């Protein structure tokens, strides 16, 4: 990610669904970070974790959902990074509209998401079968994220749909029965 954000000037980056700050390790040192995290229990961990990255400056930590970024000014952010967010939010369209709103003109939104597999595949059939239950426990497996991003109004979009070779051990027991439901991924960026 730091290669993608290569810039000599300080930049402002919004990390949507920042969790404990897993993305910090991939950010260039000249970054002012705004973290948006809905879980108040993560906030202290986030603030502690940023200290491990001396080049990063914590500009703000906001406890809120992606659908309402009203605490962030319009066109105030150079980059937005969101990993596995649109599959978990209640309103992906609203979340994308907020991401688009806070980005400066020419700003980049970088994403990696669980997405629906290609129509007519065995993976898609499995996703359709278990999503009604899975979405209440974890996330939506069958999102049409690429189309949603396209509809948001970004000037350019570049992404790749790919299939993982394996999933995290946490999901291993469940994936014994449905081995490939989490494997369909989308990674890319969109420019405002």
Which tens digit of pLDDT belongs to each residue from 110-129?
Answer: 999 988 888 888 888 888 88
3-state secondary structure of 127: helix
What pLDDT is recorded for position 79?
96
What pLDDT is recorded for position 118?
85
What pLDDT is recorded for position 1?
47
Report the distance separating Cα 101 and Cα 111, nearest Å: 16
Report the distance separating Cα 154 and Cα 152, nearest Å: 6
Report the distance separating Cα 145 and Cα 149, nearest Å: 6
Characterise 125 by phi-psi region: left (phi > 0), alpha (psi -120 to 50), beta (else): alpha
What pLDDT is recorded for position 17?
96
Which tens digit of pLDDT belongs to each residue from 16-29?
Answer: 999 999 999 999 88
Give the start-to-end residue ranges of the domains of the chain.
11-114+143-164+184-191
Report the distance separating Cα 174 and Cα 127, nearest Å: 13
Half-sphere exposure of 91 (CA within 13 A, CB side): 10
pTM: 0.87
Nearest to 97 by CA among 79, 109, 87: 109
Average pLDDT, the chain: 87
Domain 11-114+143-164+184-191: what homologous superfamily? Vaccinia Virus protein VP39 (3.40.50.150)
Which tens digit of pLDDT belongs to each residue from 21-71?
Answer: 999 999 988 899 999 999 999 999 998 999 999 889 999 999 999 999 999
Task: Give the confidence band of 141 by pLDDT, cuts at 50, 70, 90.
Answer: confident
The pair of three-digit structure tokens given for residue 70, joined into one six-digit string: 């009203």
156-163 vs 184-191, strand pairing mode: antiparallel
Q: Quote the percentage of the chain above a pLDDT of 90.
A: 61
CB atoms within 10 A of CB 64: 15
Buried-state track 19-36, b at ≥16 Cβ within 10 A, e below 16: bbbebbeebbebbbbbbb
């Amino acid at each position: 990610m730091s290669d993608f954000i290569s810039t000599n000037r300080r930049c402002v980056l919004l990390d949507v669904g920042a969790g404990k700050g897993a993305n910090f390790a991939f950010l260039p040192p000249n970054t002012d970070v705004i973290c948006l995290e809905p879980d108040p229990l993560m906030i202290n961990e986030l603030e502690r974790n940023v200290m491990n990255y001396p080049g990063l400056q914590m500009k703000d930590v906001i406890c809120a959902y992606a659908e309402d970024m009203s605490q962030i000014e319009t066109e105030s952010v150079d980059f937005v990074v969101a990993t596995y967010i649109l599959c978990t939010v209640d309103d992906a369209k609203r979340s994308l509209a907020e991401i688009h709103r806070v980005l400066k003109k020419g700003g980049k939104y970088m994403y990696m998401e669980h997405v629906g597999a290609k129509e007519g595949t065995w993976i898609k059939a499995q996703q359709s079968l278990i999503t009604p239950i899975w979405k209440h426990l974890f996330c939506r497996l069958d999102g049409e994220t690429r189309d949603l991003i396209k509809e948001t109004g970004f000037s350019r979009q570049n992404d790749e749909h790919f299939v993982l070779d394996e999933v995290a051990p946490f999901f291993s027991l469940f994936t014994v029965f449905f081995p490939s439901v989490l494997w369909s991924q989308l990674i890319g960026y969109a420019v405002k």
